[in-house]
Amino acid sequence: MSNEQQAGPTVHTIETELGRFPAPVMDGYKEARVLMQGRLREQELVNWAAQGLAIAGKTVRSWEAAAEFFKSSPAVQRQLSGGQFMRWSTVGADLCQESPSLAVAYFKASPGSLLRLRPRQIDEWAGLGRSLYRGTWKSSTLACRFYELTPNLLETLSFTEMTRFGQFLEVLSLRSYDLASQCLVEGCGLFPRLGTEREAFIGVAHAVAERSWRDVRAFFDGATALGTIDSDQRSRLLVLARRMVASGDVSAGDFVKHGSAAVRGVPVEYSGRLLEMAEAIHAVAPVAVTDFLKHAPTVLGRISFTQFEAWHTEGMGILKEGPEAGLSYFRGVSGRALEVLDTLASGVELSRIKDVVRVYCRALAGEDIELSSTQQLVEKKIGWTDSDIATTEGTTIFLPPVVDRFPSKDDNFAWYKVVSTHQVGHIEFGSFLFRYERPSTMFEDLRPLLLKSKAKDAEVAEPKAQPPRAVRAASPKTVAKSSAGKEPVAEAAAAPAAPVTDMTRFFDLFDDRTLSHDVFTVAEACRLDATVMFEYRGIVNSYRKVQARALQERPTIEELPMREAMVEFIIRLSLNQQADLKVPRDFMPTARKIARLIRRIADPVATVEDVSEATIRIYALLTDVPNNKVPEDEFEDFDPEEEEEEQQEQPEDQEFYLNSMSGEGEGDESQDSEGQEGEEQEEYESPQDVSYRGEFKPELAQLLSQLRLDQDMLDGAEPADITEEQLQELLEKSSEIEQQEGEGEQQQATEEMLKNLLKEMAKREPKDQDSGQGKFIHVDEEGGPLEATEENSFVYDEWDFRANEYKPRWCLVREKEMAEGDNTFYQDTLTNYASLVRDIHRQFELVVPEVYRKIKRLEDGEDHELDLVIEAMVDRRSGNTPSEKLYWKRNKIERDIAVAFLLDMSASTAEAIDESGRDNDDWGAPDDPVEYMVWLRSRRAEGLRRSYKRIVDIEKESIVLLVNALEMLGDTYGIYGFSGYGRENVEFYVIKDLKERYSGAIPRRIDRIAPLHATRMGPAIRHAGQRLMESEAKSKILFMISDGRPQDRGYSREGVEKEYAVHDTKVALTEAKRNGITPFCLTVDKAGHDYLKTMMQDMSYEVLSDIRLLPKRLPHLYKRLTT
Amino acid sequence: MAQVQATSYREYRIEEYVVAREPFYVPQSDEIEIFTAAYKQRIPVLLKGPTGVGKTRFVEYMAWRLGQSMGGKGSKANGAKPGIPLVTVACHEDLTASDLVGRYLLDTDGTRWLDGPLTRAVKAGGICYLDEVVEARKDTTVIVHPLTDHRRVLTIDKLGQIIEADPGFLMVISYNPGYQTALKDLKHSTRQRFVALEFSFPRPEVETKIIVHEAGVDEDTAEQLAKLGEKVRNLGDYGLGEGASTRVLIYAGRLMNEGVPARRACQVAVTWGITDDAQLQRSVDEVVTSIFA
């Protein structure tokens, strides 16, 4: 009945009504009506139109919804039954009641969504969207977005899954609509990649949203990585993630990200095990799981998976003992972790064995040899380019940072040893001491003859065009070089401007520098190997092993063009290859000659000059070998033949060598290279380096050592007669420098290298005191151990009181000599405090005389003690056994004191003393290095305008008075200042070293004491302690003068706990005490009592109530401390 | 009385101990000639050099050699024995003047004076060798000085005596400049009473010879031991102070003679002997394993 009534309005009235709305409504209606005409009965159509009208009429903007309703109706209608269709429109209408734009989105998304929705889910779906809407603009955007994206979501998600997702969004939207819409959008992209773990993922997301919604962002970011791993692992990872979230305090994002990365990093068969390990850790300490996964790839880079399990087990043990220690274990920053890793890993890291090897090298060479990672040499940019290959430049041996060539650690270490022995050999057996003029011991010297003919050549044959020698023309590079190199040679002949080094002079003899250099390198290496194996028999086995290994890495001879093949032949010969040595058949006689030469110099008595002579000969032999490829069957096994008869070199041989060197040996060419005419010759390329021999650059090394030598002799004056031009010439000519593509680049590279070389030459101690303004190397606090690479830098461990263990090699202390100012400050202080000076002197005079103490009752001594003798006689007379202890002896109490004063030069000492009541606790410096510089500068500027006394001034005055008094006592003392910024920049200024005698420079250095940066006390104390340990005094005292608590960037955990710094300082002091040093701390920080109690514990300290008392108090304290 | 023959040891009175058999000594340079000349002129001798280079051996050798050349006439103390008595005192930081000169001992009825080693040497006309003299207390200089200049007298204030030294008496001291601290430097006034002979580690060839003789190893092993010595000494300024002395090399050689494997022998005799620093030990061990197979 009611239906009848409602059916009242006719199509006509409805249409008229609709016409009152903006045009799109009517347009939509009409279009849809045409489409639906046949499918619906009339009444249904009327109802439909009426529904549309109702929607349009709901609110002001709902006409848009109506238009959209009409527009999508035909498509929707096709998918639904009549009733369902009505339901659909009613739901839409209800939505429109809430918000027209919601309805718009609903209608718009319907055709797409309904393809995947069951009709009965329409209500629920609409409800999901509606639940996101909370009447605000942002929520409506979110809800619309949801409808809009439903078709996309449904492509991968089931309806239940989508419902869950919607619920998640709802929870999240309570916190942030923006985040929710972001997740919505990202979800669309993400879900297809997650496979069947979508639901699990949504579950975790939901949990994250409930627990720590901010983390959702990171979780979604990290989840991208989830797509890259196997489904099984993914699901386990997500299960774990769920548990992690449940246990709180963990970033699910990080976990998912690192977890996926770790899983991806291991072979599939192990990934399950990896997750089991993570689960095991989770059971004990959920916080450590992420760190474990994050660090796992690095660890796995060094050890096998089986070893990794052991590493994990060890960590679990530690974790169970204490979560903090376990945490840093799994982070890889704890000493234990590194140690365990090191024991497990087969690879050997240079940094771990550096000290041992360095001392070893020094022992062998008898010189101050430094050891460094090859990385550093490459970074110097002075001509070395390959960081994987060992080398030396005369004083420093460069070794690759890690070696993992052999399965066992011992073998890898042996590799290091062999390499360093070989490199030391360059120094020990004089590779760089080559002198052009020095005669060889085994050969007829060709060098003097060659020089003559070369000079003649340059003069006479200059206009003559270079004969078109096939061999020479082989390399375009060579041609370019020889034409360019022609002038210098001519010049050298004309003007006596000799080449910079003897090595250069030698290589100047050859037209093909590269070839000569290669030959020389092999020959010299061969001599060294022979010498080393003769001198050091214990290393022979390792040496052979390394050689055999090197042989395995060699390229196949037969595949090389002939000349290169011959060079390769020499290399293999030098590596002691016995069998299967191939040489081109045509050049068997040449090979025999070469082999004979090599055998001669492979002798411990050979000298580098012998090698040079052999080089000339081999080079001459090689120039006759064309550099083209020949078929494999042209090669045959090398047959040394009747080699045993030690052939004397024939004069005609020498002639041949000389001729081919001076480019007149073409005669033989036609025979040797017959049949090769017209064939393409290949450019000669240097052979691949033999890994253990490394890059050998005699020219550069000789240059560098020459430069150093000159400098030593001239002590800082301009380096002797080596001009920049000469250097440049050397660099351009030298075949040791990698040729780069493009002329311009080459030019640039050379220039840069030249600059760097000159810098290297002029390397002096960094004198600049105000290096506080210099650049800081910023090392992340999260980073790993540091390494002392520069001169005068030292690394120290730092105590992490939370983890209850040391962070190994955590701080880098740079020791610098304090710059000198003038001594007016010193003089003024002495004048201003004249009466105090007198007073101190009087006090100290009393200390001076040596104190003797008489010790009685000794069995032996200087003389009888009368009383005791009487007693003894009495005893004897009365029949008792007399005591034997009848002597006395004087015991001298010697003043044998070494004291190190450690001055706090932190920025806070810039404070005026009158306002020192200010709270010193807040250093207030920004953490960001850039901001810090700005802050520092303004602070400095403040300091410059001062007319008042600063804390540091008082410190300085006290030191002046003390120095003055100490000179009287004759105690050994050192004065050091420290400051720094961050763990990699602890600056340690030497004002007076313990070993240094007092001189006029000391007052001048005191003058330059100035406030700098922060106060990282621990490393400074450790370093000063080291200094004291070098002294042999009986009592050693570490006297620290400070103005506040230790603090520095990263000298705390999470930047808030001041405890960290205090504890590290305490441990540093305890270390000192354990080493027999008496620490004493004097502070002017009135608030000092609270932390000093912890820091100094059972050690003595004093808090000065008034800084102005310092000059008076300091000498007094010193006296008390030392008598 | 002079010599109590027991089963396997001999007992001498301090001043009667004479180096009877020729000690093995390979001269480093002209030290034998210099010492001989100095002895003839009775100029005291100061031996400088690190431990284990053969300073003590040199003194023994010279005592024997000078005794030989004098055919026993040099010692007229009791004319019984040929040769020059050698009195060696290893100085330590608690060594006082009375330890050298002598002291009263308590006897049944009162006290009895007992001459110290220096007094005995002065009386017997022997060579008194004060090893590491700077270690001793400063008061020893009081007695060393008058004995080492033209006076050649020993004052014993407790007895109120002055003893003129026997013509055969000579004081020889040794001193190790590298090892002592600046505080314990020899005073100039003391130093300038002596002619100084510097000893350094023997050259590898010489050292090889010494090791061959002393350890009884073959030349080849000795050479390698000498090489080890040389290499380890390269670490002198690296915390090893003085490096391996010839003595420890000889010990290593002797152990090898007894069948101890070379590497192990070097480890116990050299590496562990010269340093306690674990890392340094490792480095030295690496040198050892490089040299010995």
ipTM over 0.95 threshold: no
Residue A652 shares a structural domain with residue A512: yes
Closest residue on chain A to B284 (Cα): A360
Tell me the two tokens of residue A146.
């949801």
> Among partner residues A359, A421, A896, which is closest to B290 by beta-carbon distance?
A421
Closest residue on chain A to B99 (Cα): A862
E strand residue ranges, B151-229 = 153-156, 161-164, 170-175, 195-198
**pLDDT one-digit tens code per residue, A880-898:** 888 888 888 776 666 677 8
Distances (CA, A) of A1041 to A194, A601, A846, A906: 62, 64, 25, 11
**pLDDT one-digit tens code per residue, A194-253:** 777 888 888 888 888 887 777 788 888 877 777 777 777 788 888 888 887 777 767 777
B283 vs A357: CB contact, 8 Å cut-off?
Answer: yes
CB A288 within 8 A of CB A324: no
The pLDDT of residue A378? 67
Does residue A1106 form part of some domain?
yes
Does residue A410 form part of some domain?
yes
In the predicted model, is pLDDT for residue A976 greater than 80? yes
Domain extents for chain B?
4-198, 204-291
In the predicted model, is pLDDT for residue A100 greater than 80? yes
Least Cα separation, residue A500 to chain B (angstroms):
31
Question: In this predicted structure, which of A469-483, A592-606, A848-862 has the lowest mean pLDDT?
Answer: A469-483
> Among partner residues B106, B230, B291, which is closest to A869 by beta-carbon distance?
B106
A864 vs B106: CB contact, 8 Å cut-off?
Answer: yes
Distances (CA, A) of A425 to A533, A605, A925: 11, 14, 51
The SS3 call for residue A653 is: helix
Closest residue on chain B to A891 (Cα): B94
In the predicted model, is pLDDT for residue A130 greater than 80? yes
Helix (H) or strand (E) holding A785: none
Helix (H) or strand (E) holding A389: none
Closest residue on chain B to A859 (Cα): B105
The SS3 call for residue A1100 is: strand
Main-chain dihedrals φ then ψ at residue A1100, nearest 5 degrees = -90, 150
Give contacts of B274 with chain A, Cβ < 8 Å: none
> Among partner residues B137, B284, B292, which is closest to A537 by beta-carbon distance?
B292
A864 vs B137: CB contact, 8 Å cut-off?
Answer: no
A869 vs B137: CB contact, 8 Å cut-off?
Answer: no
The pLDDT of residue A1119? 73
CB A799 within 8 A of CB A1068: yes
**pLDDT one-digit tens code per residue, A303-346:** 777 778 888 888 888 888 877 777 778 777 677 777 777 777 77
The more confidently predicted of residues A985 and B178 is A985
The pLDDT of residue A688? 78
Q: What percent of chain A has pLDDT over 70?
A: 75
A364 vs B288: CB contact, 8 Å cut-off?
Answer: no
Give contacts of A367 with chain B, Cβ < 8 Å: 234
Does residue A120 form part of some domain?
no
Strand B10-11 to strand B45-48: parallel, antiparallel, or no bridges (unpaired)? unpaired
Least Cα separation, residue B231 to chain A (angstroms):
5
Residue A569 shares a structural domain with residue A530: yes
B4-198: which CATH topology?
A: Rossmann fold (3.40.50)
Closest residue on chain A to B97 (Cα): A862
CB A1000 within 8 A of CB A823: yes
What's the mean pLDDT in A158-187?
85
What's the mean pLDDT in A554-578?
83
Give contacts of B230 with chain A, Cβ < 8 Å: 366
**pLDDT one-digit tens code per residue, A1-54:** 444 444 456 777 888 888 888 888 888 888 888 888 777 788 888 888 888 888
In the predicted model, is pLDDT for residue A942 greater than 60? no
CB A1080 within 8 A of CB A805: no
Least Cα separation, residue A243 to chain B (angstroms):
47
Give contacts of B291 with chain A, Cβ < 8 Å: 535-538
Helix (H) or strand (E) holding A992: strand A986-992
- Among B286, B289, B291, most A C-beta atoms within 10 A, so best to mutate, is B286
- Average pLDDT, whole number, for chain A? 74
Q: What is the largest CA-CA distance in chain B?
A: 68
Give contacts of B137 with chain A, Cβ < 8 Å: 892
Q: What percent of chain A has pLDDT over 90?
A: 0
- Among A356, A533, A873, most B C-beta atoms within 10 A, so best to mutate, is A356
What's the mean pLDDT in A292-298?
81
**Domain range for residue A715?**
702-753
Residue A607 shares a structural domain with residue A630: yes
> Among partner residues B106, B238, B282, which is closest to A362 by beta-carbon distance?
B238
Does residue A551 form part of some domain?
yes
Rg over alpha carbons for chain B, rounded to the nearest Å, is 21
CB A998 within 8 A of CB A1041: no
Residue A487 shares a structural domain with residue A563: yes
Give the number of domains in chain A. Answer: 6
> Among partner residues B238, B290, B293, which is closest to A359 by beta-carbon distance?
B238
Residue A564 shares a structural domain with residue A461: yes
Angle at B187 between CA B183 and CA B192, to 5 degrees: 150
In the predicted model, is pLDDT for residue A481 greater than 60? no
SS3 of A1070-1089: the string is HHHHHCCEEEEEEECCCCHH
**CA pair distance B50, B233, nearest whole angstrom:** 11
Give contacts of B94 with chain A, Cβ < 8 Å: 889
Does residue A599 form part of some domain?
yes
A363 vs B232: CB contact, 8 Å cut-off?
Answer: yes
Residue A542 shares a structural domain with residue A502: yes
B111 vs A864: CB contact, 8 Å cut-off?
Answer: yes
B232 vs A417: CB contact, 8 Å cut-off?
Answer: no
**Which neighbouring-strand residues pair with A974?**
A900
Strand A391-392 to strand A396-399: parallel, antiparallel, or no bridges (unpaired)? antiparallel
**Which neighbouring-strand residues pair with A396?**
A370
Does residue A182 form part of some domain?
no
In the predicted model, is pLDDT for residue A452 greater than 90? no
Closest residue on chain A to B112 (Cα): A864
Residue A340 shares a structural domain with residue A352: no
Strand B10-11 to strand B4-5: parallel, antiparallel, or no bridges (unpaired)? antiparallel
**pLDDT one-digit tens code per residue, A587-624:** 888 888 888 888 888 888 888 888 888 888 888 888 88
Asked whether the CA dihedral A428, A431, A432, A434 is positive or negative, the reply is positive
> Among partner residues A362, A538, A896, which is closest to B292 by beta-carbon distance?
A538
B235 vs A892: CB contact, 8 Å cut-off?
Answer: no
Strand B86-90 to strand B127-131: parallel, antiparallel, or no bridges (unpaired)? parallel
> Among partner residues B106, B235, B293, which is closest to A886 by beta-carbon distance?
B106
Least Cα separation, residue B232 to chain A (angstroms):
6
**Which neighbouring-strand residues pair with A834?**
none
Closest residue on chain A to B293 (Cα): A538
In the predicted model, is pLDDT for residue A766 greater than 60? no
The SS3 call for residue A974 is: strand
> Among partner residues A538, A892, A1032, which is closest to B293 by beta-carbon distance?
A538
Give contacts of B140 with chain A, Cβ < 8 Å: none
Distances (CA, A) of A13 to A2, A16, A18, A22, A644: 19, 5, 9, 17, 123
In the predicted model, is pLDDT for residue A924 greater than 60? no
In the predicted model, is pLDDT for residue A675 greater than 50? no
The SS3 call for residue A230 is: coil
Least Cα separation, residue A357 to chain B (angstroms):
6
Residue A1037 shares a structural domain with residue A1091: yes
Contacts 24+ apart (CB under 8 A), A157-164: A157/A191, A157/A198, A159/A116, A159/A117, A159/A118, A159/A121, A159/A124, A159/A125, A160/A199, A161/A198, A161/A199, A161/A202, A162/A128, A163/A124, A163/A128, A164/A199, A164/A202, A164/A203, A164/A206
Task: Provide the number of CB pairs (under 8 Å) joining chain A to chain B.
Answer: 80
In terms of Cα–Cα distance, which of A330, A808, A254, A1071 is closest to A322?
Answer: A330
Residues of chain B with pLDDT under 70: 1-7, 71-82, 177-185, 236-242
Does residue A144 form part of some domain?
no
Residue A665 shares a structural domain with residue A749: no
A537 vs B288: CB contact, 8 Å cut-off?
Answer: no
Listed residues A312, A345, A378: the one ending a domain: A345
Q: In chain A, which residues touch B (CB < 8 A)?
A: 355-360, 362-367, 417, 421, 535-541, 862-864, 869, 872, 882, 886, 889, 892, 896, 1032
> How big, in percent rounded to 5, are the helix, strand and coil portions of chain B?
45, 15, 40
Give contacts of B181 with chain A, Cβ < 8 Å: 1032
Closest residue on chain A to B287 (Cα): A360
Tell me the two tokens of residue A600.
């001669």
Strand A972-980 to strand A986-992: parallel, antiparallel, or no bridges (unpaired)? antiparallel
Closest residue on chain B to A972 (Cα): B183
The pLDDT of residue B208? 92
Residue A731 shares a structural domain with residue A873: no
Give contacts of B282 with chain A, Cβ < 8 Å: 356
Residue A723 shares a structural domain with residue A595: no
Top-confidence range, A482-486, A617-621, A1042-1046: A617-621
Strand A348-349 to strand A402-403: parallel, antiparallel, or no bridges (unpaired)? antiparallel
The pLDDT of residue A643? 52
B137 vs A892: CB contact, 8 Å cut-off?
Answer: yes
The pLDDT of residue A663? 56
Q: What is the largest CA-CA distance in chain A?
A: 155
**pLDDT one-digit tens code per residue, A43-79:** 888 888 888 888 888 887 788 888 888 888 888 888 8
> Among partner residues B96, B158, B181, which is closest to A1032 by beta-carbon distance?
B181
Does residue A478 form part of some domain?
yes
In terms of Cα–Cα distance, which of A208, A216, A125 is closest to A177?
Answer: A216
Least Cα separation, residue B96 to chain A (angstroms):
7
The pLDDT of residue A664? 47
**CA pair distance A419, A410, nearest whole angstrom:** 14
SS3 of A803-832: the string is CCEEEEEEEEEEEEECCCCCCHHHHHHHHH
